[in-house]
Structure 1
Amino acid sequence: MVRKRYFGDRLNDLPLILAGPILRQVDSSSMSVWFALKQPAKLTLQGFATLDGLGGSLGSRVLEANAETVQIGDFLHLALITAYGNLSPSQIYAYDVEIETTDRSIASLASLPPSLYGNEGLSYFSHGLPTFATASSRLEDLKLMHGSCRKPHGKGADMLVILDDLLQASAGDPKERIQQLFFTGDQIYGDDVADPLLWVATDVGDMLLGWTEILPVKSDAANGRAIASFELVPGVRTEYAKEKAGLTSTIGNSDEIASSHLFSFGEYLATYLLGWSPYLWPNSFPSGSGRKAGDSLHKTMGQGCQNPVSIYCRASEGAAIAGECRHLHDF
């Protein structure tokens, strides 16, 4: 089967940071920040107190840690940096991350051009660094937000915009600012996937990994040989999901729900990254029965904001993510 690549030659145009920074967890003695990078790198995380704990002016450094990326594919390197120290409740802290790549070039969040994260930038303050509010020591004063899993072709607008609005409205008030963000479930739908999104996920996944994945299943249409993930095109995967893989998504649901089920490792990686960052999204989608579902995310993810790029980044770094899911259209 001749393969048509929909992602094209955009690899060279991608930034070093494919996704992140994402503030994964904060407690009284540690903070963790996550990145997905295009190249291997060494990272240094520094956490800073702010004047009166209100976020506007930087104070002394209170945390520092180093980490190296873990290679997942030829062009996908992940890092989770955890720094330990004492963090007081109901305070706003700032942080910076220095990234040193193998060619010795060094970048930090403070030095990155604002255009990389859109007109809004990464910060709610003039110092330009991302910030977060620690949880209150009083249960009745906790400020929590909750969401489920992200489904790009779900009904309604992308609710991550609202989270950014709420964070901005109380950016300098640690008692009113959102302190923890809980996602219960998984971050994506692996079974209910729009046809055009699967085209992109398969292509992006193989590109980042650097190889074409062969699935552990043989196809009669391919003369009994094992087939690559791209050969199971969108809209025809229900039988493989039910009969070959033994997946359960069609139990109690229409068979159509699994017609574009994610199968390969790369497809899952790409779908997670597409859910957390706009950089891997193509300018257009291939035609298909669900094309409007793929196009709709471009309209809904930025609804109510001037630049959707910054919304991904500011909202995900402004409150500590304490759960594992992100289906925000029914937030």
Structure 2
Amino acid sequence: MLADILVGPILRRLTSQQLVLWWLSPFECSGEIRCYLNDKKNAIFIAALNSTNLTTFRVGEKAVVHLLDVSINFPVETYIEYDLLLTNPLEVKDNTRGLVDHVPHLIFGDCNRPSFIIQETITNLLHGSCRNPHHASQDSLIAGDRLVEKNLTDVEKRPALLMMSGDQIYADHVAGVTLYAIHQVITLLGLNDESFTDSNLAQQGITCGNELYQSRDQYFQRELLLPKSTSTATWFRSTFLKSTKQQNIFTSTYAHNHVMTFAENMAMYFLVWSQTLWQHVELEGFNVPGKYQAIHQQELAAIKNFVSGLHKVQRLLAHIPTYMIFDDHDVTDDWNLTAAWEQAAYQDPLAKRIIGNSLFAYWLCQGWGNDPKQFEGDFWREADLYQQQFETVQPASPQQENGLKGKFLEGSNQQDKFIDYLLKFSHWQYTLDSQPKLVVLDSRTRRWRSEHALDEPSGLMDWEALCELQQELIGHESILLVSPAPIFGVKIIEAIQRIATIAGQPLAVDAENWMAHPGAASTLLNIFKHPKTPQHFVILSGDVHYSFVYDVELRFRHHSPHIWQITSSGIKNQFPQPLITIFDRMNSWFYGPYSPLNLFTKRRSMRIKGRKLMLSTDAQGERPAGTQAKAEKLKLGHQRLQPKSGLGYLELNDDGSPHLIADLHCDGSRTVFIESNEELVP
């Protein structure tokens, strides 16, 4: 029997005037939301769930996404508990139950309900990216759960929000055991099927999602099913050899289990945010090709460890307002990296469908809750047309099953129509009117394509989008700017990416950084130089699988704005060692303060200093062997790049400048980024 709440609730947008909750249930819920001042028994707010505040989207026979958007008028900096009293319409008797009955592990200690504190002035926050379920590292969201538990009622120390800056799922890098679990969840919840009428799959006899899931060569061999394009591989090949070759459109090295259907994407979201559905699936019992047996065993162990901590992740997401934005792996590796990639991907029906399915799932599971008002009107009408085609498809009896395939095939065009709408949609970015103002960038769908060659990296935002960004910044003294990719990155790595681009292989090294495109780089740097833009910029980024902090100022200016590039990545991922240590040292050697190479960078008008690292442990964390003290601080020499998985933690001063910058680790330790007088990367 399925639980009444399968995933969530996840606390999304939260202000003194608005409360947004997201969750998944096997049915359309009714009931009410109640809020309580502190932990008192009498509610200060009660609202029935109805069509004015609750929107549902059915994605399967037993899977309904709920978004509750409630208008409130609550005091700020006050501990408030909340509860959802839900009624199962499929049961005859009165069965209204609260969250503690539905999800007991959602509650901290002796509390009666989950809670929140509205903090319109942001004094501290959590942030991070890159959460790969089967990576061998620990899930650092658990460190965030520990911090919230420790400061549950403390209005000054409890984090104001969690910013997830990309790669919340890895649609292009899926463990075999995860894909196997995904297919079981699709069957368990009866997730919507789809057809492939004009694609490579149809030519191979796979006409719908259910047939794809039954394919014999299903696991670790999906790259054989993914679309290819015939194009010039490199500038050298097209100019001198006059030849073309079949290339993979989806370039991820790990595409062996790439998710393809809308149902697979949705099931993956459900599995990375909740432990509940894992209790209904088997982890073994599928065919693993011999050469992948060792990898499978490693992934299996990592997934078991990942699942064991999901109850804490679910608890964290219920207690802290969580904002999200996509990066490449939420859809696919190299998503819109070059104009040539876009041309190949969107001209192929299957590739376009795969991209669209991931973006569809992103909207439902991530984008929708960031700012629900952005998706009203035309957007919702287009989405609802997709949903309507399944309203009469749900089987009333086993005898009707045979008629379903024709029904969803008949309505499949609506999925393509909505995907067309999604791919043209240009309002994924959003803001939060906090202090400092939070501005979250879409650096994926509004690209500035190269003027020189189709296979050169596109700018991360086009001129129009950058102009809109500048308007958002004017009039504010301080800004929290969320850019999934670092604006000021590690120069030696960007140089390697540039060399690969010149060699015609930008996709091989993910050559996407803000400085890769001259137009985008120049426009962005001019925004920082503009006299009316804020004096304090804190840039939060991820993407790169290591962490670092740069202090940035303009050269030759007496009143330069202060810019802090704070990169925390990954939540559950790491850059390979010892490679990251080598890059760290090379960056200091080649781009030190007196290097002539600095004159050739686009950032030569900037003075950029890299912060040193200090590993700090306390009484709650694991201390080095032989250490008897309750606290230990270990300076990590000249190291600037932090390779260990962690969750970013930031404390701000009253003027919006950073007071403390750190990464939190699951063992209770933290890496603190301390200021240095040594200039690193002009």
Indicate the residue corresponding to 1:164 in structure 2: 145
Indicate the residue corresponding to 1:9 in structure 2: none
Indicate the residue corresponding to 1:276 in structure 2: 273
The structure-2 alpha-carbon separation of the partners of 1:133 and 1:301, relative to structure 1 and needing over 3 Å to count, comes to farther
Identical columns (%) = 21
1:4-33 Cα shifts (integer Å, max 9, x gaps): xxxxxxxxx331211111111211211111
1:39 and 2:39 matched: no
Q: 2:180 and 2:203 mapped to 1: Cα distance?
A: 20
Indicate the residue corresponding to 2:317 in structure 1: 316
- Specify the SS of the correspondent of 1:322: strand
2:44 pairs with 61, 81, 88, which one? Answer: 61
Q: 1:207 and 1:60 mapped to 2: Cα distance?
A: 37
Q: CA offset at residue 195 of structure 1?
A: 1.6
The structure-2 alpha-carbon separation of the partners of 1:135 and 1:63, relative to structure 1 and needing over 3 Å to count, comes to farther
Indicate the residue corresponding to 1:6 in structure 2: none
Higher-RCO chain (CA-CA 8 Å, sequence separation at least 6): 1
Q: CA offset at residue 309 of structure 1?
A: 5.3
1:99 and 2:86 matched: yes
1:114-137 Cα shifts (integer Å, max 9, x gaps): xx43xxx32235341000121143
Q: 1:80 and 1:197 mapped to 2: Cα distance?
A: 26
1:328 and 2:571 matched: yes
Indicate the residue corresponding to 2:222 in structure 1: 237
- Specify the SS of the correspondent of 1:17: coil
Residue identity in the other structure for 1:46: R
2:107 pairs with 107, 117, 123, which one? Answer: 123
Structure 1 window deviating more from structure 2 (207-216 vs 84-93): it is: 207-216
Report 1:208-247 matches (<5 A): 208-209=189-190, 213-216=194-197, 217-219=199-201, 222=204, 224=205, 226=207, 228-230=211-213, 231=215, 233-243=218-228
Q: CA offset at residue 200 of structure 1?
A: 1.7
Q: 1:37 and 1:18 mapped to 2: Cα distance?
A: 5
2:73 pairs with 80, 86, 90, which one? Answer: 86
The structure-2 alpha-carbon separation of the partners of 1:157 and 1:63, relative to structure 1 and needing over 3 Å to count, comes to same
- Specify the SS of the correspondent of 1:112: helix
Q: 1:183 and 1:86 mapped to 2: Cα distance?
A: 27
1:75 pairs with 50, 62, 65, which one? Answer: 62
- Specify the SS of the correspondent of 1:315: helix
Indicate the residue corresponding to 2:256 in structure 1: 259
The structure-2 alpha-carbon separation of the partners of 1:247 and 1:150, relative to structure 1 and needing over 3 Å to count, comes to farther
Indicate the residue corresponding to 2:188 in structure 1: 207
Q: 2:20 and 2:258 mapped to 1: Cα distance?
A: 32
Is this contact kept in 2: 1:234–1:260, CA < 8 A? Answer: yes
Residue identity in the other structure for 1:129: R
Indicate the residue corresponding to 1:22 in structure 2: 10
Indicate the residue corresponding to 2:97 in structure 1: 108
- Specify the SS of the correspondent of 2:138: coil
Q: CA offset at residue 300 of structure 1?
A: 3.9
Is this contact kept in 2: 1:57–1:127, CA < 8 A? Answer: no
Q: 1:91 and 1:22 mapped to 2: Cα distance?
A: 20
Q: 1:100 and 1:285 mapped to 2: Cα distance?
A: 35
- Specify the SS of the correspondent of 2:59: strand
So what's the TM-score if we normalise by structure 2?
0.40
Q: 1:152 and 1:110 mapped to 2: Cα distance?
A: 26
Is this contact kept in 1: 2:228–2:249, CA < 8 A? Answer: no
Is this contact kept in 1: 2:145–2:312, CA < 8 A? Answer: yes
Residue identity in the other structure for 2:130: C
- Taking only aligned residues, the RMSD between alpha carbons, in angstroms, comes to 2.8
Is this contact kept in 1: 2:196–2:202, CA < 8 A? Answer: no
Is this contact kept in 2: 1:42–1:68, CA < 8 A? Answer: no
1:16-62 Cα shifts (integer Å, max 9, x gaps): 21111111121121111111011222142222222xxxxx4456413
Indicate the residue corresponding to 2:390 in structure 1: none
1:232-290 Cα shifts (integer Å, max 9, x gaps): 6022221432417x97541xx53xx1121100111101000001111222343335324
Q: 1:15 and 1:85 mapped to 2: Cα distance?
A: 29
Indicate the residue corresponding to 2:284 in structure 1: 285
The structure-2 alpha-carbon separation of the partners of 1:285 and 1:133, relative to structure 1 and needing over 3 Å to count, comes to farther
Moved over 6 A (4+): none
Q: 1:149 and 1:42 mapped to 2: Cα distance?
A: 35
Is this contact kept in 2: 1:131–1:318, CA < 8 A? Answer: yes
Q: 1:247 and 1:187 mapped to 2: Cα distance?
A: 24
Residue identity in the other structure for 2:314: C
The structure-2 alpha-carbon separation of the partners of 1:106 and 1:312, relative to structure 1 and needing over 3 Å to count, comes to farther
Is this contact kept in 1: 2:35–2:45, CA < 8 A? Answer: yes
Q: CA offset at residue 189 of structure 1?
A: 0.8
Q: 2:48 and 2:27 mapped to 1: Cα distance?
A: 20
Is this contact kept in 2: 1:44–1:97, CA < 8 A? Answer: yes
Q: 2:183 and 2:149 mapped to 1: Cα distance?
A: 36
The structure-2 alpha-carbon separation of the partners of 1:243 and 1:96, relative to structure 1 and needing over 3 Å to count, comes to same
Is this contact kept in 1: 2:206–2:212, CA < 8 A? Answer: no
Residue identity in the other structure for 2:72: G
The structure-2 alpha-carbon separation of the partners of 1:242 and 1:57, relative to structure 1 and needing over 3 Å to count, comes to same
Q: CA offset at residue 176 of structure 1?
A: 0.4
Residue identity in the other structure for 1:229: L
Q: 1:219 and 1:60 mapped to 2: Cα distance?
A: 55
Q: 2:202 and 2:319 mapped to 1: Cα distance?
A: 51
Is this contact kept in 1: 2:181–2:283, CA < 8 A? Answer: no
Structure 1: tracts of 5 or more residues without a match: 1-12, 51-55, 303-307
Indicate the residue corresponding to 2:301 in structure 1: 295
Residue identity in the other structure for 1:93: I
The structure-2 alpha-carbon separation of the partners of 1:101 and 1:241, relative to structure 1 and needing over 3 Å to count, comes to same
Q: CA offset at residue 112 of structure 1?
A: 0.6
- Specify the SS of the correspondent of 2:106: coil
Residue identity in the other structure for 1:34: W
The structure-2 alpha-carbon separation of the partners of 1:57 and 1:284, relative to structure 1 and needing over 3 Å to count, comes to same
Q: CA offset at residue 328 of structure 1?
A: 2.6
Answer with 1 or 2: which has the greater Rg.
Answer: 2
Q: 1:166 and 1:174 mapped to 2: Cα distance?
A: 13
